Amino acid sequence: MLFGDVSEELARRMVKALRDVTDFEPPSALVRVSAQSGVDYQCDLAMSLGKRLGKPPREIAADIAARLDVADLAEPPEVAGPGFLNFTLRSSWLAERTTALNGDPRLGVPVTPRPRRIAVDYSSPNVAKEMHVGHLRSTVIGDAIVRLSRFAGHEVVPHNHLGDWGTPFGMLIEHLLDERPSGPYAIRDLNGFYRAARAKFDTDDGFATRSRERVVLLQSGDEETLSLWQRLVDESTRHFTQVYDLLGIGLTSEDVYGESFYNPLLAAVVDDLDTAGLTEISDGAVCVFPDGFRNREGDPLPLIVRKRDGGYGYAATDLATLRYWTEQREVTDLLYVVGTPQAQHFAMVFAVCRAAGWLREEHRAEHIGFGSVLGEDGRAMKTRAGESVRLSDLLTEAISHAAEVIDDRADLSPEIREEVAEAIGIGAIKYADLSGDRERDYVFSWDRMLAKSGNTSVYLQYANARIRSVLAKADQDLAGARVLLGHSAERALALALTRFPEAVGAATAGHLPHKLCTYLYETAVVFSRFYEQCPVLDAEGPGVRDSRLLLAELTSKTLTLGLSLLGISTPARL
Ligand code: ARG
């Protein structure tokens, strides 16, 4: 076993040994990476078995240890404290395993034996509005989840649930007709266009009436109306694509499955819920009251599937969406990367879909929630004028700040400087967003995210570039090099490098990119300790220079692959 996840391998062996001791089926997370020095992995299973077996945990741990067959990779496990089993990898095995990473493009990360087909709903901005900071998190987190899941070997279908349908389009189309703009640029200022339409709607009764009639025309498929609507969608999509390109996000117009896409499916959703006896009329609206959802007063909460006026809303569209993806596209998993305030909406949609049979036993649906981006004042981030911050402004600003961070070096051409500034600026924004637990809010701070030290992408990018420059200086073919672990700092680095599969696995399984960030940061820190203590270019002793160069190379590969799974690039020179 040279590749894969060592904690899982140890856990597998534990399970085997355990069969002789008890028929208890242990949970999967049996063996964990240990932070204790001298201990590489640790297991606390014996403690939870104490009661069940009526024996002191230390005795159980010793029993398991006696039956455990790990001699090929670890020293005999030690019983510690109240009944921990501590594992220390054999250095010779660790060296061999690290050496084997050389030439493996996956750096030991296994491909899943159970691939799933995963639909990921992310970004999902609204037509005729510019993307603002509120769309940053869904876009960046969703993209990382797509990359991680694909890398694990799953089939991933991204889809962009554009808000491109509903009542605002009546007023937007009427406004477009009134303005009769000649070129496509008339609506380039999407926000201004939306604001003007809104203002007219609120003050001009005639316009408001026309807008309402226009919605009816749109929904009944009137051709002229549809072509005007298409123009709004196209113009907005052009803007979204620009932002995605700048951010390095893979979403294209082919991934757009806007709300309008599901419009033809809505009537059947309501009919089938009716037939299944799941609907009730409440206040003239068709509702479903899924079990277990109550408001503060204790009254059952409705999911409104058809409004009193016969129109369909956000919830109906999400029911149709889920049904489309499980029934037509046969996905096994559905992930929705949407802010935490919509948690209840999704929980209710899932409950109704389960009741309707659109979400079955074999399916997994999960709302991947996230907190807000806050300004330095700790409140939702806004411009000085109190408006939401345009995402494109934010990205441009990031790149110009990044240009100031880059060392003023004459040997970087203006083109390279520009490329590097983009990698640093965009990387900083993404990493700041990904490196904290996604459920929490975070404060947006240029200083913090562009700092050259601490858990930032800039630190990691610099660490990587420094390693690349050492490797370039050595200019050595490392194909046959072997890792030697004579120094404790070398061992610590090798251990960190072989833990990459665990970090990627944890980030992928829990949809928690910050676990990968933490790992990459810790690995870069371990590398810098190694680099301080172990001369690389001037190493002495047979094979030591090659070994250290290989450790450096593997560190650079780990940082590069790890950051790429987060959508962050690593320039060779900064
Ligand atoms: N457009 C929505 C918004 O801006 C997000 C859509 C999320 N996806 C979904 N299937 N509801 O809030």
Could you give all domains of the chain from N- to C-terminal order, each with its CATH number? 6-89 (3.30.1360.70), 167-253 (no CATH)
State which of 132, 325, 338, 342 you would mutate to test the pocket of ligand 1, scoring each by most atoms of that ligand within 8 A of its C-beta. 338
Which residue's structure tokens are 């800039």?
458
Percent of the chain with pLDDT over 90: 76
Q: Say yes or no: CB of residue 161 within 6 Å of ligand 1.
A: yes
pLDDT of residue 408: 67
Quick one: tokens of 143? 């993209």
Quick one: tokens of 193? 């266009």
- Beta carbons of 430 and 566 less than 8 angstroms apart: yes
**pLDDT, average across residues 299-312:** 92
Quick one: tokens of 134? 């509120």
Confidence of residue 275 (pLDDT cuts 50, 70, 90): very high
Which residue's structure tokens are 């051409």?
413
For 441, residues 6+ apart whose C-beta sits below 8 A from its C-beta are 371, 372, 373, 374
Strand pairing class (84-87; 41-43): antiparallel
- Beta carbons of 547 and 530 less than 8 angstroms apart: no
Quick one: tokens of 420? 């590097």
Q: Say yes or no: CB of residue 531 within 6 Å of ligand 1.
A: no
**pLDDT, average across residues 471-497:** 96
pLDDT of residue 487: 96
Q: What is 84-145 written as a DSSP string?
A: EEEE-B-HHHHHHHHHHHTT-TTTTPPPPSS--EEEEE----BTTS--BGGGHHHHHHHHHH
Distance from C-alpha of 57 to C-alpha of 162, rounded to nearest angstrom = 55
- Beta carbons of 128 and 165 less than 8 angstroms apart: no
The gap from C-alpha 272 to its chain's centroid, in whole angstroms, comes to 34
Please report the atom of ligand 1 found closest to the CA of residue 163. 1
Terminal alpha carbon distance of the chain: 38
Q: What angle do CA 225, 228, 229 make, to 5 degrees?
A: 85
Least confident range of 186-190, 401-405, 431-435? 186-190
**pLDDT, average across residues 28-53:** 84
Closest CA to 337 of 438, 409, 440: 438
Least confident range of 39-53, 120-134, 298-312, 539-553? 39-53
Q: What angle do CA 147, 150, 153 make, to 5 degrees?
A: 150
HSE-up (13 A, CA, CB side) for residue 476? 19
Q: Say yes or no: CB of residue 526 within 6 Å of ligand 1.
A: no
For 9-36, what is each residue's pLDDT tens digit?
Answer: 888 888 888 777 777 776 655 888 888 8
* Dihedral class, residue 274 (left if φ above 0, else alpha if ψ from -120 to 50, else beta): alpha
Residue 112 CB coordination number (10 Å)? 15
Is residue 185's pLDDT more than 60?
no
pLDDT of residue 124: 96
For 186-225, what is each residue's pLDDT tens digit?
Answer: 566 778 888 999 999 999 999 999 999 999 899 888 999 9
> For residues 21 and 362, which has the higher predicted lDDT (pLDDT)?
362
Quick one: tokens of 305? 């599937």
For 88-103, what is each residue's pLDDT tens digit?
Answer: 999 999 999 999 999 8
Calculate how far, in angstroms, residue 312's C-alpha sits from the geometric centre of ligand 1. 15
Is residue 1's pLDDT more than 90?
no
Is residue 410's pLDDT more than 80?
no
Which residue's structure tokens are 């599937």?
305
* Eight-state DSSP code of residue 294: B
Is residue 407's pLDDT more than 80?
no
Calculate how far, in angstroms, residue 31's C-alpha sits from the geometric centre of ligand 1. 39
Q: Whose CA is nearest to atom 5 of ligand 1?
A: 124
> For residues 395 and 48, which has the higher predicted lDDT (pLDDT)?
395
Is residue 560's pLDDT more than 80?
yes
Which residue's structure tokens are 């500034």?
421
Quick one: tokens of 3? 């590749």
Is residue 553's pLDDT more than 70?
yes
- Beta carbons of 502 and 10 less than 8 angstroms apart: no
Strand pairing class (117-121; 155-159): parallel
**Residue 452 three-state SS:** coil
State which of 259, 261, 342, 372 you would mutate to test the pocket of ligand 1, scoring each by most atoms of that ligand within 8 A of its C-beta. 342
